């Protein structure tokens, strides 16, 4: 009887941790769809996609609240230790980063509404390429999270420099285009903010990579391991 009661409690605790991991994975999937839709809205200049991104942002925020409530309940009732404690603390950080990605995706989508009124846009192909790299980063880091595998997390870390380089090149070219042609000033500023938001989503993917690394290894992901 005592044994079966203990086993029951252990199972319930394990279930709570599994549910937390599931919620985080669902949140990641939702954010990934948001980002892909936001990028499609920019590249196709299709403002009709914006409402869907905004709708998903509410769901992402609700999911973050849910993750926080689950973590608080785990701390209060279960007092997790060692690996479970790291997993629980990391869940809180990862949910925070994913919520920020959702928010940035929403900001990107809003720019599609501003951009829809302009005719040909400079450098949209470069935005598309930058976006594709960042989407891949997000996808890989979510894989790393669900498989608790550090290898894709380290790959995401390594890609961060490439994102920064592409972003900087885009800024330089856009400033030149805007200086030469006043008609490019307003759309150019929107594109620059889209690019900045993509660069920052890349930073959040890197943060998630660090959190996954800490969760799995209990150690920090240092420049020495990762940038070589």
Distance CA 4, CA 218 (A): 32
Residue 13 neighbours by CB under 8 Å, 6+ apart? 78
Per DSSP, 1 falls in state -
**Backbone dihedral angles phi then psi of residue 80, each to the nearest 5 degrees:** -60, 150
CB 137 within 8 A of CB 202: yes
Q: Which is nearer to a second copy, 137 or 184 (CB)?
A: 184
Retrieve residue 218's tokens.
Answer: 């209990």
Using the rule CB under 8 A, is 179 a contact of a second copy? Answer: yes
Q: Which is nearer to a second copy, 2 or 119 (CB)?
A: 119
Using the rule CB under 8 A, is 96 a contact of a second copy? Answer: yes
CB atoms closer than 10 angstroms to residue 41? 26
Min CB(32)–a second copy separation in Å:
22
Min CB(93)–a second copy separation in Å:
7
CB 170 within 8 A of CB 53: no
Min CB(4)–a second copy separation in Å:
26
Min CB(126)–a second copy separation in Å:
16
Using the rule CB under 8 A, is 76 a contact of a second copy? Answer: yes
CB 137 within 8 A of CB 159: yes
CB 196 within 8 A of CB 167: yes
- Interface characters, 183-222, with a second copy (x: CB under 8 A): --xx--x--xx--x--------------------------
Alpha helices in 79-180 (DSSP H): 82-115, 124-147, 150-180
Q: Which stretch binds a second copy (CB under 8 A): 12-20, 43-51, 70-78, 120-128?
A: 70-78
Using the rule CB under 8 A, is 228 a contact of a second copy? Answer: no
Using the rule CB under 8 A, is 118 a contact of a second copy? Answer: no
Using the rule CB under 8 A, is 85 a contact of a second copy? Answer: yes
Which of 200, 96, 215 is closest to 146 using CA atoms? 215
CB atoms closer than 10 angstroms to residue 197? 22
Q: Which is nearer to a second copy, 3 or 76 (CB)?
A: 76
Min CB(174)–a second copy separation in Å:
8
Site of interaction with a second copy (CB under 8 A): 68, 71-72, 75-76, 79-82, 85, 89, 92-93, 96, 175, 178-180, 182, 185-186, 189, 192-193, 196
């Amino acid at each position: 009887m005592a044994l079966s009661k203990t086993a029951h409690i252990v199972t319930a605790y394990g279930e709570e941790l599994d549910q937390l991991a599931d919620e985080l994975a669902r949140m990641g999937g939702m954010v990934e769809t948001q980002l892909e839709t936001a990028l499609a809205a920019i590249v196709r200049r299709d403002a009709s996609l914006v409402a869907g991104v905004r709708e998903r942002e509410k769901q992402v925020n609700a999911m973050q609240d849910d993750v926080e409530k689950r973590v608080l309940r785990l701390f209060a009732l279960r007092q997790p230790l060692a690996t479970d404690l790291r997993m629980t603390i990391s869940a809180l950080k990862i949910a925070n980063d994913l919520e920020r990605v959702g928010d940035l995706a929403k900001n990107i989508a809003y720019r599609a509404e501003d951009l829809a009124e302009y005719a040909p846009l400079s450098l949209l192909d470069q935005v598309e390429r930058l976006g594709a790299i960042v989407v891949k980063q997000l996808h890989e880091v979510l894989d790393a999270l669900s498989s608790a595998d550090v290898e894709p997390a380290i790959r995401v870390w390594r890609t961060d420099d490439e994102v920064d380089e592409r972003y900087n090149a885009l800024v330089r070219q856009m400033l030149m285009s805007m200086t030469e042609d006043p008609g490019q000033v307003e759309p150019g500023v929107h594109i620059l903010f889209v690019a900045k938001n993509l660069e920052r989503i890349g930073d959040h993917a890197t943060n998630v990579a660090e959190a996954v690394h800490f969760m799995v290894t209990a150690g920090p992901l240092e420049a020495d391991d990762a940038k070589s």
